Chain A
């Protein structure tokens, strides 16, 4: 009897043990997935210690970590990171809202389409970073010009994705909504926008890294604190530890943001078959 109980309803101890076991297993699986990165970092450390290159060219990974730790403790890194994130995310959010609004207007109202389509199609491929000195001339050196530059660069993929997404909404969906008496306004907000959301989200997933790249670039070019500015200062003073610390910090932030967007996509679009479509750009 006891044996049957045992197999049917595992004792709490056993449950705990099995939970620990699955936890360990998923940890191990994660470790296997990350192992190339770990190997890469170890290789970096070994190569830097081997003396084949000077510490100036490639400092040891461990000393870069120490530098990151000391910058964190001194409060320098949190401030710089906070500023960079604030600029990049503010620019990204403005791009997201303005881009979706403009895209919807273009897809639904012909005059908007006529006016903005050539501007978007000419503006998208040009290297907008070249306009940086003009933006500085107009708006100065502070956050406004940086965020403007970020919006100027990252709004394009959002607009095009929204237009393409709305145009791609199944005609049957629109016909049925119209047949059921949906107003044009509700059609835009309650039928087309949700149906185009997967495409729009893909546009946002393209825009986010652009916002981060341009944010760091403007900081490098204009100063004003932030990770980009501190990397540029470090580079100017030949402080290679500072430069490599910046790369690691930026890489981690970029990776986390990209992963967060993927998680957000899976959550928001859980009703949609394309929820797990990987972002390719």
Chain B
């Protein structure tokens, strides 16, 4: 156990070195504290923020937008991807559209969703839904198409209905790639959320970063930036751990 802790702390030592360097550079006055506030000041500002209602209402707005958009993207994207693999007509109609929209830089959608739905929650949810759906769709499609034909045939010859084969054979075998697509979508959702809040919003963590920065409260701005980074990191690692648990049956 101590060995594991020792090796983990050796592994993450470079991060500690970077943070120590940050603290040293700004508290020793090598750079102006207006440009890089000392880590300790950022930490104090972070604690103050965590005690304020303002912070939590902004964080709540961001998490609501991200969560709703992502949920819609996962559900609709997965259904669409599996339908594409399962039915030829659906594939013929949908796959060229997917192929066209997939390389579209998703940030281009920010002004459109703002135009359609304004500056509030709805435009962010629509943006995240549209931007994050295709990775899920493509993951589900590739996974479902890769399901072994022999398994499908066996299930059919054992008398499983088409729908039951879909649910019991195709969907589970699509799962690994589908979940990988969701991971891409998760990362993308943070980018779109924070970016759209930085650009057009009156609420949310991205808005708060811009607001604090415009007001010259750089300690607070750095604290919120680090908080967002930490949230993104935890979301990704948490998702990965959950995914590995969910896919244990594969081993």
Contact = CB atoms under 8 A, between A and B. Distances in A.
Interface of A: 33-37, 40, 56-57, 114-119, 122, 125-134, 136-138, 209, 212-214, 216-217, 220-221, 228, 231-232, 234-235, 238, 240, 243-244, 246-247, 250-251, 254-255, 257-258, 280-281
Interface of B: 11-15, 18, 35, 92-93, 96-97, 100-101, 103-112, 114-116, 135, 138, 142, 184, 187, 190-191, 193-195, 198-200, 205-206, 209-210, 213, 218, 221-222, 224-225, 228-230, 232-233, 235-237
B108 A122 contact: no
B233 A126 contact: yes
A10 B237 CA distance: 67
Nearest to A233: B111
Contacts of B191: 127, 129, 213, 217
B236 A132 contact: no
Contact of A134 (B104, B190, B193, B222): B222
A281 B184 contact: yes
A231 B14 contact: no
Task: Give the most central of B11, B96, B210, B222: most A CB within 10 Å.
Answer: B96
Nearest to B104: A251
Given A115-B14, A125-B232, A37 B96 contact: yes
B116 A57 contact: yes
B198 A127 contact: no
Nearest to A36: B96
Given A36-B93, A36-B96, A129-B195, A235 B104 contact: no
B191 to A, nearest CB: 5
Main secondary structure of the interface of A (DSSP, over half): helix
Contact of A250 (B108, B187, B218, B229): B108
Contacts of A40: 97, 100
B97 A213 contact: no
A40 B100 CA distance: 11
Contact of A251 (B108, B194, B222, B233): B108
Contacts of A244: 112
Given A117-B14, A122-B233, A220-B107, 10 more contacts: A34-B96, A36-B93, A126-B230, A129-B194, A133-B210, A209-B103, A220-B195, A232-B199, A250-B108, A280-B138
B111 A220 contact: yes
A41 B138 CA distance: 23
Task: Give the most central of B97, B105, B235: most A CB within 10 Å.
Answer: B105
B15 A119 contact: yes
Contacts of B236: 125
A34 B233 CA distance: 40
Contact of A122 (B15, B200, B228): B15
B18 A119 contact: yes
B216 to A, nearest CB: 10
Nearest to B184: A281
A58 B77 CA distance: 24
16 contacts: A36-B93, A125-B233, A127-B190, A127-B228, A129-B198, A130-B228, A131-B229, A133-B209, A134-B222, A136-B213, A213-B191, A217-B195, A235-B114, A243-B115, A258-B103, A281-B135
Task: Give the most central of A118, A127, A133, A231: most B CB within 10 Å.
Answer: A127
Contact of A246 (B103, B108, B193, B228): B108
A75 B17 CA distance: 50
B115 A235 contact: yes
Contact of A133 (B96, B105, B225, B235): B225
Given A125-B236, A234-B111, A137 B213 contact: yes
A246 B111 CA distance: 10
Task: Give the most central of A34, A117, A131, A257: most B CB within 10 Å.
Answer: A131
A221 B200 CA distance: 9
